[in-house]
Amino acid sequence: MKLYYAPGACSLATRICLHEAGIAAEYERVDLHSQLTEAGEDYSKINPKGSVPLLTLEDGQSLTENVALLDLIAQREPKLAVDGPLGRTRLIEMLSFLSTELHVAFKPFFHAASEAEKASAAETASRDLELLNDRLGEGYLFGPDFTVADAYLFAMLRWAVAFGVEMRSEKFAYFERIACRPAVHRSLKEEGLPLPRIEARLATLSF
Ligand SMILES: N[C@@H](CCC(=O)N[C@@H](CS)C(=O)NCC(=O)O)C(=O)O
């Protein structure tokens, strides 16, 4: 397997899940602006969508879209999936929300958007994050066990912290809990990303 990624992008969720699942993979960095991979290949030929993540499978097939990649990893490593008769459906329900609502809400931060557009994006992202509040408690999105959905949400909470999106303190606690997982630690290190240091921000929040 090979994961095409950009540091700190949503492809971080795939890397975390590959590590959580103990699946060996190669990792190739993509410069999303120049569309060149670190090996100097034209990424737009590898993925005409131009976006990461893209995972090449053992048989050479390519797979894109976070929802599909994370579902695939959860099928290969059921400890990262959701149990129960509706488990997979509930997981896809959550991944779809994360992808089509929350992830999309962050897009203006990555493009040449105006300050007004960014402020509106922050409001939308904050509102979407609120919808997840009562799911977090002491554990993860689906209870006491970490699933692929948590890796995706973690990648986006990094952005929320970086862009100053308002979040409740429970969400910071959840964020820190995930950051402590060895697979997450390893993934951040491999992508050259700092470990979250959010205590200072916590102190500035009123709730
Ligand atoms: N629908 C895709 C979107 C992935 C996506 O937006 N990736 C971002 C990084 S987080 C990206 O590659 N942006 C650059 C671009 O789209 O040109 C998915 O869910 O996998």
Rg (CA), the chain: 17
Contacts of 154 (CB under 8 A, 6+ apart): 12, 13, 16, 175, 178, 179, 184
User: 36 in helix, strand or coil?
Assistant: strand
The sign of the dihedral angle between the CA atoms of 185, 190, 191, 194 is positive
Residue 59: pLDDT over 90? yes
Q: Which atom of ligand 1 is nearest to the CA of 32?
A: 14
Residue 204: pLDDT over 60? no
Longest Cα–Cα distance of the chain, Å, equals 52
Contacts of 96 (CB under 8 A, 6+ apart): 67
**Residues 111-158 pLDDT 10s:** 888 999 999 999 999 999 999 988 887 799 999 999 999 999 999 999
**In this predicted structure, what is the pLDDT of residue 136?**
81
Report CA(198)–ligand 1 centroid distance (Å): 26
Choosing from 15, 28, 37, 52 the residue with most ligand 1 atoms within 8 A of its CB, the one to mutate for a pocket test is: 52
Q: Residue range 25-46: average pLDDT?
A: 98
Report CA(51)–ligand 1 centroid distance (Å): 4
pLDDT category of residue 72 using cuts at 50, 70 and 90? very high
**Residues 82-98 pLDDT 10s:** 999 999 999 999 999 99
Give the residue, by CA position, lying nearest to ligand 1 atom 15: 51
> Whose CA is closest to 19, among 171, 175, 172, 154?
154
CA distance 196 to 179: 7
Choosing from 10, 94, 110 the residue with most ligand 1 atoms within 8 A of its CB, the one to mutate for a pocket test is: 10
**In this predicted structure, what is the pLDDT of residue 200?**
42
Question: What is the four-CA torsion angle of 142, 145, 146, 148, rounded to 10 degrees?
Answer: -60
